Amino acid sequence: MSESLIRSDIDLEVDGKQTGYLRLPHSVHRSANGQILIPAVMVRSGNGPTALLIAGNHGDEYEAQIALSKLCREVDKGDIRGRLIILTMANFPAAQAGTRTSPIDDGNLNRTFPGDPLGTPTQMIAHYIEEVLLPKCDYFFDFHSGGSSLYYPPTLLRGMGNSAHEREELIKLQDAFDAPYAWVFTSGGGRETKARTAMGGAGRKGVITLMAELGGGGTVSKEILALTERGIRRMLHSIGMLPGYEADAMNGTRELTITDSVIAYDNGLFEPFYDVEDVVKKGDSAGQIHFPEEPWREPKVLDFQHGGMVLCKRVPGRVERGDCLFQVGSDL
């Protein structure tokens, strides 16, 4: 495997707080020796675990980009035990554009792992995270939302764990983050995973890893941002990295697994009959797709194939064949 061409301003082996950039060489017409500057912050003090926290894996998912920016400004060497590494805009070109994928190479970072050190910018970022950063980590937290097209209530995502110890750690972190919901993957997530996600990359490196879906719809929710900031501090506290933080009482998390996805088979305008957190039964009509181009045509009604709670809903009204309209979760 070739070495990464990305150069970091941060020396991960030195105690203290460092801010700077991962510098990705990017030579283009308007800038022959240009660089993509991916912001990075490290706070290291004494003995303790290493945790990598990233936001902006998808560029149109905002709460954690703000929450991690606040954390970067607020924590100092004296607050931390161990090594905290933060990337607020992991796929920087996508995050700067406010789009899911990179406008430079159309790369979806979270479908690009394990990446390629000599590939496109998105492939180079994936490779750097998997091969340079993750091997140094004990914990990896990858914060998402539904992006521009989907909305999730605050939901933690985790696997079942590869061992009793890992499962215990995951549940401890889930309790610490204290989102109202957890989406638990009941398959995959093993060490041999071929997953193209950052979570898959962390699994390959034996790192304890969690994701979260925190709202979406291309906006920022005041409530979800507050929950995200609280959850991140509680998680760091639970692994001993923020010893001075005083965690408040836990609200509790409902564990779900996804049992149904409602997909569009027509292009048109979707009228949903349900919202997130609604309870639905098998056979209930989920909504209908209208065809205003032919207003005399009957809308196409779509049904839920399994009952449960609506965990995810499409945001834009205009839908195309193949779009995901709803996901339904059932209690684990």
Question: What mask of x and - would describe binding to Zn ion in positions 18 to 57, judged by CB under 5 A?
Answer: ----------------------------------------
For the bound state, the minimum distance from the C-beta of residue 213 to Zn ion, rounded and expressed in Å, comes to 7
Closest by CA position to 101, among listed 135, 141, 147, 132 = 147
For the bound state, the minimum distance from the C-beta of residue 304 to Zn ion, rounded and expressed in Å, comes to 24
b/e code 249-263 from CB counts within 10 Å (16+ = b): eeeebeebbbbbebe
Return the number of the residue (8 or 101) whose C-beta is nearest Zn ion.
101
Q: Residue 306 burial by CB count (10 A; 0-12/13-18/19+): exposed, middle or buried?
A: middle
Q: Omega before 114 cis (within 30°)?
A: yes
For the bound state, the minimum distance from the C-beta of residue 59 to Zn ion, rounded and expressed in Å, comes to 9
* Residue 91 is a binding residue for Zn ion (CB under 5 A): no
* Residue 233 is a binding residue for Zn ion (CB under 5 A): no
Counting residues that bind Zn ion (by CB under 5 A) gives 3
* Residue 154 is a binding residue for Zn ion (CB under 5 A): no
CA–CA gap between residue 275 and residue 260 (Å, rounded): 15
CA–CA gap between residue 303 and residue 14 (Å, rounded): 57
Question: What mask of x and - would describe binding to Zn ion in positions 123 to 152, judged by CB under 5 A?
Answer: ---------------------x--------
Please select the residue that binds Zn ion; options are 58, 81, 158, 290, rule is CB under 5 A.
58
In the bound state, the residue with its beta carbon closest to Zn ion is: 144
Closest by CA position to 160, among listed 131, 186, 141 = 186
What tokens does 281 get? 């039964």
Return the number of the residue (117 or 189) whose C-beta is nearest Zn ion.
189
Q: Which residue has the tokens 């990858």?
A: 142
* Site residues (vs Zn ion, CB under 5 A): 58, 61, 144
